[in-house]
Chain A
Amino acid sequence: GQQLNQSPQSMFIQEGEDVSMNCTSSSIFNTWLWYKQDPGEGPVLLIALYKAGELTSNGRLTAQFGITRKDSFLNISASIPSDVGIYFCAGQPFQGAQKLVFGQGTRLTINP
Chain B
Amino acid sequence: SAVISQKPSRDICQRGTSLTIQCQVDSQVTMMFWYRQQPGQSLTLIATANQGSEATYESGFVIDKFPISRPNLTFSTLTVSNMSPEDSSIYLCSTEGGKGAFYGYTFGSGTRLTVV
Chain A positions within 8 Å of B, measured between CB atoms, are 1, 31, 33, 35, 40-48, 58, 88, 90, 98-100, 102-105
- The reply to whether B48 and A99 contact each other, CB–CB distance below 8 Å, is yes
Between A and B, how many residue pairs show CB distances below 8 Å? 67
Provide a sorted-by-A list of 5 A–B residue pairs whose CB atoms are within 8 angstroms. Answer: A35-B107, A42-B107, A43-B43, A43-B92, A105-B41
Question: Which chain B positions have C-beta within 8 A of A41?
Answer: 109-110
Distance to closest chain A CB from B108 (angstroms): 5
- The reply to whether B42 and A104 contact each other, CB–CB distance below 8 Å, is yes
The answer to whether the Cβ of B61 comes within 8 Å of any Cβ in the partner chain is: no
Question: Which chain B positions have C-beta within 8 A of A88?
Answer: 42-43
Question: Which chain A positions have C-beta within 8 A of B43?
Answer: 43, 88, 90, 100, 102
Distance to closest chain B CB from A37 (angstroms): 9
- The reply to whether A42 and B108 contact each other, CB–CB distance below 8 Å, is yes
The answer to whether the Cβ of B13 comes within 8 Å of any Cβ in the partner chain is: no
The answer to whether the Cβ of B106 comes within 8 Å of any Cβ in the partner chain is: yes
| Stretch in B63-71, B76-84, B95-103 touching the partner | B95-103
